């Protein structure tokens, strides 16, 4: 899979442990809009997806995560690689730990009908819901996003950059 870009804050001097959390993200177009997670309490957009379980391959994780976060069933035959983003920074999980996350983005289609979400506690607190949004609106909202949690700001900036790449590539088609 092609590497879209890397985010390496290099803020982890002296850290001796690495916490790795590979994740998958679905890029789902419905007409001229994107199916995205909207965090109603934090006011940002993110691609549906999340962390892979140890026993999952990327496609299995994508099917599970999209269904859990937004209630949409991915059509397995529609899945194709888009690219990955590697993120490295000092972890919020411990003073001696680097957070390393490879985010694997996949283009995919879903069935029309939305099922029930199955959110983790932090996702429910953030108010995750499915939103069909214009790409320019998602970029604008994520550019304006500010949080008391710098860790979240890095994540949302990553999503904004991927959105901008998708927009640029779709304009060339």
The pLDDT tens digits of the residues spanning 62-98 come to 999 999 999 999 999 999 999 999 999 999 888 899 9
User: Domain spanning 3-172 has what CATH number?
Assistant: 3.90.79.10
CB–CB of 90/15 below 8 Å? yes
pLDDT reported for residue 171: 66
C-alpha–C-alpha distance, residues 171 and 173, integer Å: 6
* Residue 60, helix vs strand vs coil: helix
Burial pattern 47-77, b for ≥16 Cβ within 10 A else e, equals bbbbebeeebebeebbbbbbbbbbbbebeee
* 112-127 confidence digits (pLDDT tens): 999 999 999 999 999 9
Please tell me the predicted confidence (pLDDT) of residue 147. Answer: 87
pLDDT-derived band of residue 30, with 50, 70 and 90 as boundaries?
Answer: very high
Q: Is the pLDDT of residue 173 over 80?
A: no
135-144 and 150-172 helices cross at what angle (nearest 10)? 150
Identify the pLDDT of residue 52.
Answer: 97
Higher pLDDT residue, 170 or 157? 157
Average pLDDT, the chain: 95
User: Residue 7 pLDDT > 60, yes or no?
Assistant: yes
Mean pLDDT over 140-169 rounds to: 94
Predicted confidence band of residue 49 (pLDDT cuts 50, 70, 90): very high
Q: What is the pLDDT of residue 151?
A: 84
Residue 47: per-residue pLDDT: 98
Whether residue 172 has pLDDT greater than 70: no
Q: Where are the domains of the chain?
A: 3-172
């Amino acid at each position: 899979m092609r590497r879209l870009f890397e985010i390496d804050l290099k803020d982890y001097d002296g850290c001796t442990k690495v916490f790795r959390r590979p994740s998958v993200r679905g890029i789902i177009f419905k007409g001229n809009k994107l199916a995205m997670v909207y965090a109603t309490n934090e006011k940002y957009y993110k691609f549906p997806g999340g962390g892979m379980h140890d026993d999952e391959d990327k496609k299995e994780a994508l099917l599970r995560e999209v269904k859990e976060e937004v209630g949409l069933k991915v059509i397995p035959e529609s899945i194709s690689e888009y690219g990955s983003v590697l993120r490295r920074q000092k972890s919020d999980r411990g003073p001696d730990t680097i957070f390393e996350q490879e985010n694997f983005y996949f283009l995919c289609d879903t069935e029309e009908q939305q099922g029930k979400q199955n959110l983790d506690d932090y996702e429910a607190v953030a108010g995750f819901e499915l939103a069909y949004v214009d790409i320019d609106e998602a970029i604008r909202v994520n550019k304006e996003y500010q949080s008391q949690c710098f860790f979240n700001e890095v994540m949302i900036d990553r999503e904004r950059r991927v959105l901008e790449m998708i927009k640029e590539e779709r304009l060339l088609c």
